[in-house]
Amino acid sequence: MSTAPDPGPVQPLIRCVGITKRFGSLVANDAVELTVLPGEIHALLGENGAGKSTLVKMLYGLMKPDAGHIEWKGRRVDLVNPEAARALGIGMVFQHFSLFDDLSVLENIALGTPGARADAALADRATRVARTYGLDLDLERPVWTLSAGERQRIEIARCLLQEPELIVLDEPTSVLTPQETETLFASLETLRARGAGLLFISHKLEEVRRLCSAATILRGGKVVAHADPRAETAASLARLMVGEGVSDVRAKAAVGSGPAFLVVDRLSVKPEISHGIPLREVSLTVRSGEVVAIAGVAGNGQSELFAALSGEGGMITAGTITLDGADVTRLAIGQRRRLGAAYVPEGRLGHATLPQRSLSDNITLSWHETENVGGWFLSLERLKQAAGAIIHRFDVRGPSTDPRAAQLSGGNLQKYIVGREIERKPRLIIVDQPTWGVDARAAALIRQTLVDIARDGAAVLVITQDLDEAFEISDRIAAICGGVLHTPVATASTTREAVGLKMTSTDRQAEVAA
């Protein structure tokens, strides 16, 4: 299992031989070996920071390896830029879409296709490709009206128009609902059957086990195993990825054990940015002692909801927000903190923290309104002490005793940010994407912490794209879609499919029928 598979009689499509890439003192890829055969869906597995993105960037000519080389169909090649990679037949579908919101689907396809214009000929080709691979596309629609799944289909169609033989997909399912994921898998299966090789980057192990026939697992920049995911369990793959076993979250809070703390009543918000999502009559109650999760695909109003609940922005046109009975609809974030609220925004650097400041400096951001940070003159000693306590309690690991926020890994920084809020002993904590891009161990610790403080009597609201996470930690769960929040239901009495369905529907009545 831990030796490279014999390429066998089939000529490999691409082979990486001893690929090494360094960034300063960090070895992002250490003598990586990877082989993808035609007609194979090959998984590239690893935690965040394992070196997947670096490897893929070299495969697509965006970076050059410091050592080692790449072979394309047995011949050594030098991928100097993405054009060279595309000319060979390597296509790439990025995790983050590069689309122009104001242009139509066809215009976006034309922009990504060298030498093409948005004319009838291209529309013809695009329609043909879309039909062959089951990609449902309306070429005339402007992109800003499309869901994440539809946007991804544009990227895939754009890639397929170049007729690539190897297609690299970087975490393609991270923004999709379960139903959209099914559609994607059907298209990928068609591609595979037609002889293309696919490199599927993911950390969702169940998907990999279903879809892929081979896997290369990276940890800390090194290949730790080549495996057949169909012969492994999700747990055994996770062990390979993470190193040691990752514990499950223990003991959920008792359902609705306390009085309502956060009450949102028919809240409507006008977005501040163009193409932002307006919130439409959002109603929600979070009681002390429970965890409520809001599940949804990114870009369906979560950021707007978080901003409205925290008091950071957005024009509230109707409705009210109350904290412990007090109307806070018009209050600033500081005043809401005084009433016992704490907030963890999605953006770790530049939103939750000042990237170039030390962790002790960053305490001030969310503490100055309610905690003793020395008054008008900040007490550096007090701040250092507070940061030290959080670092110790939440096992934050950094390069020094008081590192700058930007020096921490995603997981360690998130532990610090969550810790900073918990240390304030909030009565309500609202967390947007608690474990997005966080390594498995830190994610487990953060989820456990949220469940624990709910059990200790705090009201916890989690906004997440990760449906598994929502099910793991919440007592009640609500789906959000297009700025409409569905009524929360008890997590124990619903299914992933039912929630997934609501994640694609803006019809609040539909759930009654479902």
Partner 1 sequence: MMGLTLVPRTKVSRLREVVTPLIAFAAALVIAGIVLKAMGKSLMVALQVYIIEPLTTSWGLQEVILKATPLTLIAIGLIFAIRANRWNIGAEGQYVIGGLCGGAVAIFAHGWGGFWVLPLMLAAGVAGGVAYGLVPGVLRNRFGISEILSSLMLVYVAELLLDFLVRGPWRDPKAFNFPKSVNFDAAATLGPIVEGGKLHWGVMVAVLAVVVALVMLGRSLFGFAVSATGEAPRAANFAGFNDRVLTLQVFAISGGLAGLAGVIEVSANIGQLQPSISQGYGFTAIIVAFLGRLNPFGALIAAVVLSMLLIGSETAQIMLKLPFDMTRAFLGLLLLCVLAGEALTRFRLVRKP
Contact residues for partner 1, defined by CB under 8 A: 24-25, 64, 310, 312-313, 332-334, 337, 343, 345, 347, 350-357, 361, 364-366, 368-369, 373, 375-378, 380
- Is 74:63 a contact under the CB 8 Å cutoff? no
Residues in the chain: 514
Instruction: Judge contact between 255 and 394, C-beta under 8 A.
Output: no
Shortest reach from residue 354's CB to partner 1, in Å: 5
Considering the complex, state which of residue 139 and residue 342 has its C-beta at the smaller distance from partner 1: 342
How far apart are CB 369 and partner 1 at their closest, in Å? 6
Can you say how many angstroms the Cα of residue 6 is from the centroid of all Cα atoms in its chain? 34
Burial group, residue 116, by CB count within 10 angstroms (0-12, 13-18, 19+):
middle
β-bridge pairing 476-481 and 291-295: parallel
What is the closest distance, in whole angstroms, from the C-beta atom of residue 36 to partner 1 in the complex? 26
Nearer to partner 1, 88 or 333 (CB): 333
Query: Which letter does DSSP use for residue 97 in this model?
Result: -
Place of tokens 């003159």: 377
Nearest alpha carbon to residue 513 among 496, 491, 498 = 498
Q: Is the Cα torsion angle 19, 46, 202, 442 positive or negative in sign? A: negative
Neighbours of 71 (CB within 10 A): 15
**Phi, then psi, of 507 in degrees rounded to 5:** -95, 105
Please name which of 465, 416, 472, 178 lies closest in space to residue 306, comparing C-alpha atoms: 465
Nearer to partner 1, 316 or 489 (CB): 316
Q: How far is the CB of 131 from partner 1 (least distance, A)?
A: 43
Phi, psi of 213 (to 5 degrees): -105, -5
- Smallest gap, in angstroms, from Cβ of residue 133 to partner 1? 37
- Give the integer Cα–Cα distance in Å for 220 and 51: 7
Q: Is 283 exposed, middle or buried (0-12, 13-18, 19+ CB in 10 A)?
A: middle
Q: Which is nearer to partner 1, 255 or 365 (CB)?
A: 365
- Nearest approach, Cβ of residue 396 and partner 1 (Å): 18
Q: At what angle do helices 234-242 and 440-455 cross, to 10 degrees?
A: 110
Residue (18 or 350) nearer to partner 1, CB:
350
Cβ closer to partner 1: 151 or 336?
Answer: 336
Q: Which is nearer to partner 1, 37 or 277 (CB)?
A: 277
- Among residues 89 and 345, whose Cβ is nearest to partner 1? 345
93 SS3 class: strand
Question: What letter does residue 353 receive in the DSSP assignment?
Answer: B
CB of residue 187 to partner 1, shortest distance in Å: 37
**Quick one: 64 or 194, whose CB is closer to partner 1?**
64
Residue (of 238, 256, 234) closest to 246 by Cα position: 238
Q: Which is nearer to partner 1, 298 or 380 (CB)?
A: 380
Rounded CA gap, 87 and 281, in Å? 51
DSSP string for 443-488:
HHHHHHHHHHHHHTT-EEEEEES-HHHHHHH-SEEEEEETTEEPPP
Q: Please, which residue, 357 or 496, has the CB nearer to partner 1? A: 357
Taking residue 100's Cβ as centre, other Cβ atoms within 10 Å add up to 12
Residue 460 CA to its chain's centroid (Å): 20
Residue closer to partner 1 (CB basis): 229 or 314? 314
Min dist. Cβ of residue 333 to partner 1 (A): 5
CB of 380 to partner 1, least distance (A): 8
CB of 434 to partner 1, least distance (A): 16
| Beta strand residue intervals within 127-245, DSSP E | 166-170, 197-202, 214-219, 222-227
Cβ–Cβ under 8 Å, residues 474 and 491: yes
Q: From CA 281, how far away is CA 507, in angstroms rounded?
A: 12
User: At closest approach, how far in Å is the CB of 311 from partner 1?
Assistant: 8
Q: Shortest Cβ distance from residue 420 to partner 1 (Å)?
A: 12
